[in-house]
Amino acid sequence: MTQGKTELDQSILALHLRLEALQGRLWAESKRSLLLVLQALDTGGKDGTIRRVFGGVNPQGVTVSGFRAPIGEELQHEFLWRIYRALPRRGEIGIFNRSHYEDVVATHVLGLIDADEEKRRLKAIRAFEEHLTESGTTVVKVFLHISKDQQRKRLQERIDEPDKRWKFSAADLDTRKRWDDFTAQYSHIIEETSYDFAPWFVVPANHKWYRDWAVINLLVDTLEAMNPQFPPAAPGIESIVVE
């Protein structure tokens, strides 16, 4: 264990306590919400990040939504329809494990939309995220960046370790063959959709301990800037004596 990792582990413990306290205030205030958008290439660590970062918070105030390729009724609606339905309520922290950005990244790489449709969707995403922020939802978007070699190691672990084989899909290998296409599209989309009101943060994620520290630190900074407050107590409550 490196000195840097030891120091970050200690810092994470303190940050967890701070995150728990801030989330409690956000939940009690119940006027605003926070939306964390997590994107990554396969094996980028979205599930692990959610598990490690939010392990100590009040589960009543956190919602997690995952978005894969649309199916069934989702295909009968505009691409943002399913996203709207999963937004956090006031007081909640919402987490998107994949998000509406799949509809401008994977769809582009796989040739499912053309340039005009991509442009239209990017315009819709900007309006959507701007509306969210104006309505009291703070949007934080995180791309977990891993190297191609690190992805190879993690995919091989899924094959070699029996308790991880359920995570492996042959489709992961097909996607890996298009590594350059996906990384180029992500780079393009992040550049096009990082706004002052809804910025992107690219987090190095080869090392899980650093990834966790970076994400929880970002969330604590965001919540501290939001500065949620407990609602005022009922008048005269301080004089009540419970018998």
Please give the C-alpha separations between residue 177 and each of 45, 172, 173, 187, in angstroms, as whole numbers. 19, 9, 6, 18
What residues does 175 pair with on adjacent strands?
none
Q: What is the pLDDT of residue 2?
A: 54
Q: Alpha helix locations (H) across the chain?
A: 3-29, 46-53, 81-84, 102-109, 115-134, 148-160, 170-176, 179-193, 208-226
Please give the C-alpha separations between residue 185 and each of 119, 190, 193, in angstroms, as whole numbers. 13, 8, 12
Residue 165 exposure: Cα atoms within 13 Å on the Cβ side = 5
Q: How far apart are CA 44 and CA 87, in angstroms?
A: 23
Tell me if the domain spanning 33-227 has CATH number 3.40.50.300: yes
Q: What angle do CA 192, 127, 89 make, to 5 degrees?
A: 115
Helices 102-109 and 115-134, interaxial angle, to 10°? Answer: 170
Give residue limits of the domains in the chain. Answer: 33-227
Residue 168 exposure: Cα atoms within 13 Å on the Cβ side = 17
- Of 117, 115, 79, the residue nearest 98 (C-alpha): 79
Q: List phi, psi (to 5°) of 227.
A: 55, 60
Please state the pTM of the whole predicted model.
0.92
Q: Average pLDDT for consecutive 10-residue bins of the chain (243 residues)?
A: 66 91 96 98 94 90 92 92 96 97 96 96 98 98 97 95 90 92 97 97 95 96 97 86 89
Q: How far apart are CA 144 and CA 44, in angstroms?
A: 6
Q: Reduce the DSSP state of residue 145 to 3 states and report it.
A: strand
